[in-house]
Structure 1
Amino acid sequence: MKDIKETDLYPPIHKYFTDLGYQVNGEVKTLDVTAVKDDKLIVIELKKNLNMKLLIQGIKRQRLTDQVYIAIQRPKKTFSREWKDKLHLIRRLELGLIVVSFTRKTPLVQVICDPKPFSRTQSMNRAKKRQKGILDEIKERSGNYNVGGSTRKKVMTAYREKSIHIACCLQCYGELSPKQLRALGTGDKTTSILSKNFYGWFERMRRGVYDLTDGGQQAIKEYALIAQHYQVLIQEKEKEITKSENSL
């Protein structure tokens, strides 16, 4: 990326807004750039890179006008998750974003987003499916086995728990079919977990019948506390089945 100075952003942005019919000025009462047309005031704050100082400057300028842009040199990675998250924050702050590319002879100005009101309701509605997934995940976990803020550690998910439950059943009874496992309480996703075999814990012995691999045996030892929880459930389920059969 070409090494530029903050002032290098000014000429292309000046030309961009001038071409749109605005009167453009630099450094007006601590404002980096102003653009005025028909009493409409636009404020643009310049920085080489997107940072907290620039965001704070931007929201301070919103006391003067709701048309505030922050302008930066176009970064190399504009398709990353981090960049998308930054754009979400900018929109959430109701700021506009301008990027200037210096890869050509003539700098290219691009308005990524205009300043406009942010609707939390619309944002939450778009995330309804994800919210449901979070609530389902919490509901399907048997307990709180993770430490918040942990990184580079295996997270105990509902999926992993279900896999441990199945592994415990196979350890206890040997080869079983998905139907037999569901009867022991392993849930509706049993067939999918066995066929995908994401962790490599299960082995298909013959059509519709599975057993535990050495990796599965090791997993039961590794997750001994959770395995103990499901071993107790299996015993309770076995008693329940036996009681039901005796009552017939």
Structure 2
Amino acid sequence: MKRRNFIQAISAAVLAMSGFAFNAAAALPAIDVYKSATCGCCSKWIEHLQANGFKVNAHDVPSPSDYRSKFGMPQELGSCHSARVDGYALEGHVPASEVKRLLAERPKAKGLAVPAMPLGSPGMEVDGARSDPYDVLLVKADGSHSVYRHYDGAPAKNAAGSAAQMKPAMTEGEIKKVDKAAGKLTIKHGPITNLDMPGMTMAFRVKEAAMIDQVKPGDKIRFAADKTGGALTVVKIETMN
């Protein structure tokens, strides 16, 4: 009798724990993701969220940056996709663990952002390649931000991984904004193959300050962009006008 009661107690505990895990997963709110139909890294980020218990509603849209503006995220924190979860905005390749933390802590903020597309962040992994250091930023109501969590980078594991990081290629675009004080150009551009970035509107730093003076809003350009110091950076630019 005692043995049977013991076994029943253990079984009940296991079922209770299973139920708790199920309810915890079921309690996670759905995430709406707004992305380009051709963005492979966006789809990989969605798979990362799903693997961590989130239901995801993916929306393929012509201009994901429109949703960045709609959700109140600063353009300078932009990435290749924008998302919304339980009243919070998410910009870029935010780890699922930080989304869960955000939902548990419920800070007064617009949401979280991982600017640009750091190599090695969820959805941006390349076998054998380096991982860039990056920050997950907590974006406040006034657009200011602070570091929510920092992730360290790692060097490439092998030569093949290093070779997988493509050299910058020229891409066509249009200058939408020139911010000389910040040293940034906002460019509406086509796909940037070396960054696995689909066409969108994005703010870029410039490698050389003189590049800012070469262009004005409305200019048609050809440019090359790369990751420099963890930031999307224009490394070469020429006008087409």
Structure ranking higher on relative contact order (CA contacts 8 Å, 6+ apart): 2
Same fold (TM over 0.5): no
Larger Rg: 1
Name whichever structure is richer in helix by fraction.
1
Question: Which TM-score band (shorter chain)?
Answer: under 0.3
Name whichever structure is richer in strand by fraction.
2
Q: Please, what TM-score do these two structures have when normalized by structure 1? A: 0.22
